[in-house]
Every structure is written in structure tokens, then in C-alpha cells.
Amino acid sequence: MLVQTKAIVIKENEVGETDRLVTLLTEKAGVIRAFARGARNVKSKALSATRLFCYAEMSIWASSDKYVIRDAAPIEVFFGLREDMTKIALASYFSQLLLELAPSEENAADYLKLMLNCLHFLQTGAKPPAQLKSIFELRLLSMAGYMPAVEACAGCGKFESKQMYFLPQTGELFCEACHKRGTAVSISVVSAMRYILYSELKKAFSFELTDTALSALEAVSEQYVIAQTEKRFSTLEFYHTIE
């Protein structure tokens, strides 16, 4: 069966002298691994379309046991990411999270939109990397079924207090009166988390925080990722070494 779909390369491996084995986040089939025969040949139409972070229109032959890319035409290659180590490290972290949390063999259009939006803002420098990282983490976890409960205090239902506390292990939020443990977060950070989670994706990037609040948001969203996935990510560690 021949599948026409938009896809972005989130992992690439060289195979033999001229082939590539790529992991794709596709619009119609989620995360799949596909062979691109002859893709490393300088005359191949798939040369740039099968490189890491390239977004392309693809024709993929799907059989019972493998996927083979028949044709690929680049839409956006995100060359700007390769000009800055922080950008490429963060994009690599996004890819590793998708490998962990994005679905396979089912529609993943929303996951693809999230990745493309974050890479666009990361490439252009229009938004701080820390802000994009938090947006990606919280939105991705929510889409994957790990939506944190930040709408009100889990103990008494209070909407806000001057100081609130977030528990990464459960995704619950507590006010000053109800908390017994958790990470202290200001109401500005809580408001940013709510905005990220409940806004339309195209509006989720439209907020600003002080540097202190943005650092706190980045820390708490990262804690939530690690607590919920119970994993350490090598790309995240690399990002922090060069940040």
C-alpha cells in the first residue's frame, strides 16, 4: 500500500554505503521507521528530505513488516537549527521525547504541528529556548495522556494563592494551606502552565515571563517529564551542558 503523508525526520541512521534508515513522525501513521534506499547518493531526490529535522511530503510504501520511502520532497529543512548548538541540542531533545511519547500506527497530526511550531520558533529565535522547551514538554505530555491537574488546588479547590506547590509525581497542584510537599511555584508560573495547557496551539506561545519565572517554569516542566516517564534523556543532559 502506498501512503502519501507529511513527515519530519526525528532520527537518522546510515545503512550500507548509500542508504538511510530514518525514524519519522508522520501526520497519518505516527512514528514509523522507513528505509530510504540510495538517499545518501548526491543525485538522490531524497538526499535532503531524509536528513534529521527535515519536514517533507513523502510517498511511503507500507507492507506488513517494513516501510520504504519511494519519494520525498522537502517542505522545510530547518537549516537554521544547525547554526547554533543550543538549538540543535534542544531540537534533538524534542525528537527523543517524541520517540518516547508519540503514537505509532495512528494519526499524529497534533504531535506534528507541535513539533513544527516549536522548531519554527527555535530556528527564528522568536521565543526563548526555555519557553519553547516548557511548551513542548507540557503539551506533549498532555497529548500523550499525562495532563497535569493545574486548574485548582487538589486539596480544597482554591484557584490560586500567593505561593502554590506542584507535585511532579502526580501532576497535582496545592495551595499554601493544603500542601505537604512539592515544588514551590509562583502564581505567574502556574498561570503560564495553565495558558500552555488550555490555549489553542497557535496561541500557546503568546506569553511572556520574567527571567526568574521562566527559569522556574522550565525547571518544573522538566521535573514533570522525568517523573512521569521515569527516564533520563541523554539529549536533555547534553542540552544542559551547553545551555
Distance CA 118, CA 26 (A): 16
CA distances for 64 relative to 29, 53, 67, 102, angstroms = 14, 27, 9, 21
Please give the model's pTM, rounded to 2 decimal places: 0.94
- The C-alpha cell of 124 is what? 527564528
**Per-residue model confidence (pLDDT) at position 44:** 57
**pLDDT number for residue 38:** 65
Domain ranges of the chain: 2-77, 80-242
Q: Please check whether residue 158 is in contact with residue 175, taking contact to mean a CB–CB distance below 8 angstroms.
A: yes
In this predicted structure, what is the pLDDT of residue 224? 98
What does the angle CA 183 – CA 172 – CA 231 come to, to the nearest 5 degrees?
A: 70
Q: Do the bridges between strand 55-62 and strand 2-15 make them parallel or antiparallel, or are there none, so unpaired?
A: antiparallel
2-77 and 80-242 in the same fold: no
- Cell numbers standing for residue 41: 547518493
Q: What is the pLDDT of residue 124?
A: 96
Residues counted in the chain: 243
Give pLDDT < 50 ranges for the chain.
none
107-128 burial string, b = 16+ CB within 10 Å, else e?
Answer: ebeebbebbbbbbbbbbeeebb
Q: Evaluate whether 9 touches 52 at the Cβ level (below 8 Å).
A: yes
pLDDT for 105 equals: 85
Residue 208: φ, ψ to 5°:
-130, 145
Give the C-alpha separation, 22 to 54, whole Å: 11
CB 138 within 8 A of CB 197: yes
What's residue 20's pLDDT?
85
Integer distance in angstroms from the first to the last C-alpha of the chain?
44
CATH entry, 2-77, from 3.40.30.10, 2.40.50.140, 1.10.132.20, 3.40.50.1480: 2.40.50.140
- What confidence tens digit (pLDDT) does each residue in 46-71 have? 666 788 999 999 998 887 778 888 88
What CATH number belongs to 80-242?
A: 1.20.1440.120
